[in-house]
Amino acid sequence: MADVAIIVPTLRRPESLERALRSLFAQTGVGDRISEIVVVDNDPSGSAAEGVDALRGLTPWPLVYVHAPRPGVATARNAGLAATRASLIAFLDDDEAASPGWLAALLEAQEATGADAVFGPITGRAPEAKPWLKPYLERFFGREGPDDTGLVETPFGCGNSLMVRATALPGAAPFDSATDQAGGEDDALFAALQARGGRFGWAADAMVEEFAPAHRATLAYALARAFAYGQGPSQTAAASRDWPAVLRWMVIGAGQTVVWGAGAALLALIRSPKRAELYDRTARGVGKLFWMKGFEPHFYGTRELARLEAAKA
């Protein structure tokens, strides 16, 4: 029975989107489980429509195009969900490419663990990065987990995931549109799932590659993202009005800022390539301290659209 939909949100990345879709067309070991591949075009001008149409003859499964003209990561994911009735939802980002056995491995892991959400490993690729930064950036854009498939205590991000719709994605719009510009829509979703007693799984063989474009393969971009990741625990605690937890995360952040900041300064003096790792840890500590509204960096939605418009001009 076709019970799995794959959702691919996209915003003006035609070459990257084609690579992602071609990797999905090559999936093996899933039989007739795929109900549709849903491409959600988050560009107000609908720029992905022509490219999607050109690829329709290459896939054995229905390829559905959805136009979500209001730029925003949560809005795009919700629009994809609205276009399918599948009971299992897989997410692949438009800068990722799945291995041929990706979906089969996610499905096998979900069936073996009974998890509500399953995640897989990601190999980061930053071909245009500066040589001293490349190892750090490829780790940054990658994702590591246990060597073996099984249950895990903490969730990862939506990219390269499979979720049980009834338990992990309740309601018509489970992703909070307030996160459209800064991201973190998956943090809030998984925190709520965990509070309901949900379970998370890891699919060790569900391999995906993530390709960082040139404007993201920089230290400044990675540290801004690290700062935002650091904000996540404090913001999640604040959203549930768990003020003791907020204070605890801020104390942890202060300690990380002092310890890792000092280490980063020392490595910077000797120009060690390893300084990037400590910059990252310091940024995450600072994020736990400055989690409040107004400090969120914006990576998606209108900010990303404005960057693309400027690059085009």
Per-residue model confidence as pLDDT tens digits over 130-149:
999 999 999 999 999 999 99
Q: What is the pLDDT of residue 1?
A: 82
- Asked whether residue 165 falls in the same domain as residue 58, the answer is yes
Closest by CA position to 216, among listed 271, 140, 158, 281: 140
pLDDT > 90: percent of the chain: 84
Averaged pLDDT, 165-181? 92
CB 211 within 8 A of CB 125: yes
Residue with tokens 């990601």: 122
CB 5 within 8 A of CB 38: yes
Q: Does position 229 have pLDDT exceeding 70, yes or no?
A: yes
Residue span of the structural domain in which 279 resides: 219-312
Q: Whole-number mean pLDDT of the chain?
A: 94
When divided into structural domains, the chain yields a total of: 2
Question: What's the whole-number mean pLDDT along residues 89-112?
Answer: 98
**Residues in the chain, overall count:** 313
Question: How many angstroms separate the CA atoms of 74 and 179, rounded?
Answer: 6
Q: What is the pLDDT of residues 1-50, one digit of tens each?
A: 899 999 999 999 999 999 999 999 999 999 999 999 999 999 999 999 99
Structure tokens at 223: 């540290």
As a whole number of angstroms, the distance between CA 310 and CA 313 comes to 5
39 and 127, same domain (yes or no): yes
301 bridge partner residues: none
Report the distance separating Cα 196 and Cα 188, nearest Å. Answer: 13
Q: Is 206 found in the same domain as 223?
A: no
Give me the percent of the chain exceeding a pLDDT of 70.
97
Q: How far is CA 205 from CA 70, 119, 216, 294, in A?
A: 35, 10, 27, 40
At 13, list the tokens: 């990345």
pLDDT of 103: 98
**Boundary (domain end) residue, out of 187, 211, 235:** 211
Question: DSSP labels for 21-36?
Answer: HHHHHT--S-TT-EEE
**Whether residue 241 is found in the same domain as residue 295:** yes
Domain termination site, one of 177, 211, 245: 211
- Clarify whether residues 277 and 163 are in a common domain: no
Same domain, 196 and 276: no
The predicted structure's pLDDT at residue 183: 78
Domain co-membership, 85 together with 54: yes
Ramachandran region of residue 150, left (φ > 0), alpha (ψ -120 to 50) or beta? left
Are 191 and 246 part of one and the same domain?
no
Q: State the pLDDT confidence band at 188, using cuts at 50, 70 and 90.
A: confident
Does 223 lie in the same domain as 205? no
